[in-house]
Amino acid sequence: MKNESKIISINDSVIKVQIWDTAGQEKYKSMSRKGYQNADAIILVYDVKDKKSFESINTWVDDIKTNSKEDILMALLANKIDMNDRVISKEEGLKLAEKYNIKYFECSCKFDINVTETIVYLTQEIFLKGEKKRNIMLEDNVKKVKSSKTCC
């Protein structure tokens, strides 16, 4: 299991993103479940040359939905698009992402194609979700102040 941090700038805010890579290994499944509870987003990655890795996405999504926050963000990432002997088509990947209403990306980790873009997309979504929550809290506070005013 690998752990990596990246610094990303969004709307003049500097955000530290911590990335945990379990490589989908079964031995890390119990640790992954604990990680879901605190995660704001999850990237589900499959190998476009491996039907089994693609089919396992359904199990991972079910596990995530069972063990994470209700509003967790997810993205589906098709890896190894630089390879010629692709087994899973882009259309199949898009269809799976649509099934779960999540964003779909294709990438090559080997050549760093769309990896950063996926992380930046999720970070922006997390940031915007936080902004919306802050705005709602501010509006609620303003309403409370207005309703608590008493007149002489």
pTM recorded for the entire structure: 0.73
For the stretch 107-116, pLDDT in tens is 998 998 988 8
Q: Is the pLDDT of residue 86 over 80?
A: yes
Which domain covers residue 60, as residue numbers? 2-148
What is the domain count for the chain?
Answer: 1
Contacts of 104 by beta carbon, 8 Å cutoff, 6+ apart: 75, 76, 78, 93, 94, 96, 97, 98
Least Cα distance to 54 among 95, 13, 22, 19 occurs for 95
Residues 103 and 97: beta-carbon distance below 8 Å: yes
Please report where in the chains the tokens 């990655």 appear, as a residue: 45
List pLDDT tens digits, range 36-67. 777 888 889 999 999 999 999 999 899 888 88
State the average pLDDT over residues 80-109: 95
CA distance 6 to 115: 12
To the nearest whole number, what is the mean pLDDT of the chain? 80
CATH of the domain at 39: 3.40.50.300
- Asked whether the predicted pLDDT for residue 28 surpasses 60, the reply is no
